[in-house]
Amino acid sequence: MPRSVFQARFLRFGGFAASAWLVLAALVTGQEQTRAFNVVALAEKNSIHRPFVDAAKIWLTKEAETENFSIDYIENTDRIDEAFLSRYQVFLQLDYPPYMWTATAAKAFENYVEQGKGGWIGFHHAGLLGEFDGYPMWRWFSDFLGGIRYENYIASFVTAKVKMEDSRHPVMQGLPVTFTIDREEWYTWDKSPRPNVRVLATVDERTYAPDSTIKMGGDHPVVWTNEHVKARNVYIFMGHRGEHFQNKDFTRLFHNAILWAALR
């Protein structure tokens, strides 16, 4: 029953003690706070992508309220195990590379994805596949993202058009056929993941402004999903700059991904 109805009846009949009204109000408030699903977001504490993370947290606070989900944040993988992941329907890799994970966390995450225990959304840094900072490449994660290895990036940043490739997929609903992403440091990989994943969108390298010689040669996926695992999953390459959250097409993409990954 809406709170206003309780208030109206309280005023009309006047027989409730103040304490009884407070109990009723608390019950209503409690009902309103029941969350449809739970999200955990992994993001490094000290990272060059911190502006993206900070902007994401502001946007996610509003999104969580609107779409009725809870969200928790962790800064490393130390707490991740099977029991921890069982509390969440969506794992959001907001800013964390596919290395530095504890062995327990890596195994728990693999099971989470392979067995479809929850959904996964990874941004930008999740595609940094290779040997970095003394860590070996996580072969499972490379296969999960289509068997790719990081090769290069546009350090000077360029603006480009992203082209929708699969309008039927729920993650792409409501998006235009092409939309602009301003000043991103587009990664290149050793090959396209296309043979092993379902590509949802690509970046049109011909639209780079200013132009760059760092390209994949035409087929450059930037949004895709791996349908060979049970978990609903999507990798969204864009994720370096906080200004992306001022882009309605980027936030629409993120919004769609959360609800789809959560089976909503």
Residues 17 and 95 in one domain: no
Answer yes or no: pTM beyond 0.85. yes
Residues 88 and 156 in one domain: yes
Residues 142 and 187 in one domain: yes
pLDDT of 32 reads 47
pLDDT more than 90, % of the chain: 84
150 and 191 Cβ atoms separated by less than 8 Å = no
Q: How many domains does the chain have?
A: 2
Domain that holds residue 26: 1-34
Residues 41 and 22 in one domain: no
Please say if the pLDDT value at position 64 is more than 60: yes
- pLDDT-derived band at 33, boundaries 50, 70, 90: low
Token pair 């479809």: residue: 116
Residues 81 and 8 in one domain: no
Token pair 């009723």: residue: 24
Residues 12 and 79 in one domain: no
Residues 56 and 175 in one domain: yes
Residues 135 and 28 in one domain: no
Q: What is the bridge-based pairing of β-strands 221-225 and 198-209?
A: antiparallel
Residues 121 and 66 in one domain: yes
DSSP 68-120: TEEEEEESSSTT-SHHHHTT-SEEEEEE--SSS--HHHHHHHHHHHHTTSSEE
